[in-house]
Chain A
């Protein structure tokens, strides 16, 4: 069964600190792994997309890693800001004629001053 599991479910950090969010995926056949940021009341916004041959991709203060062997991904946020408070969703893409996206439940991050 294709599924994506994220941890922790929620996280509170102080402004300026770093944090790492985890994602374990069982997606087959695998196409790519995506991370999205979703602010409260808004739609998700794409942060990174990685294929199996890429093990690191950055987008500003966000750095995603991918280990295709262990089927794990992480999203590292550097020097957190209050605006980073959001849900971060890991998404596995199932390869096929028309790929299907499998969403995790997300990690809710709160950055406090």
Chain B
């Protein structure tokens, strides 16, 4: 039973570029949430996708966008990269939206470095 998988594991970009991160949820899960985790900090909620729609969004600019596909996998896109976007990007999956008390299962993240 595969857990949450994210790709790539590491990525280096330069300022102004665009990046796409990918996430496959745990088998049987239909909800995907994305988080940004700066070094030494807790994860910050970016947004949540359920039934292929963005359902909740944290305090992130429009440069951060996403998509959920019919197979429940998801992408996070970040445009016009800034140095401050350097972080670990975590994907978490769950069942039935965050309205349930079900635990989220996290992937091991994509480490994004902006030069």
Contacts and interface: CB of A to CB of B under 8 A. Distances in A.
Given A43-B106, A49-B101, A103 B56 contact: no
Nearest to A101: B45
Interface string B74-111: 00000000000000001010000111110111111100
B101 A43 contact: no
A31 B101 CA distance: 8
B104 A99 contact: no
Contacts of B40: 105
Contacts of B58: 100
Contacts of A96: 56, 99
B107 A43 contact: yes
A93 B98 contact: yes
Interface string A31-69: 110101000011111100101000000000000000000
Interface residues of B, number: 28
Nearest to A97: B99
B108 A46 contact: no
Nearest to A4: B42
Contacts of A100: 45, 48, 56, 58, 98
B50 interface: yes
Given A43-B4, A44-B43, A99 B98 contact: yes
Given A43-B4, A93-B98, A98 B108 contact: no
Of A91, A96, A100, A105, the most chain B CB neighbours within 10 A belong to A100
Given A43-B90, A106-B42, A101 B98 contact: yes
A45 B99 CA distance: 19
B15 interface: no
| 6 closest Cβ pairs, A-B complex | A43-B106, A103-B42, A46-B103, A99-B98, A98-B55, A105-B42
Interface of A: 4, 31-32, 34, 36, 41-46, 49, 51, 89, 91, 93, 96-106
Given A98-B97, A106-B42, 9 more contacts: A32-B101, A42-B109, A46-B103, A97-B97, A98-B56, A100-B45, A100-B48, A100-B58, A102-B45
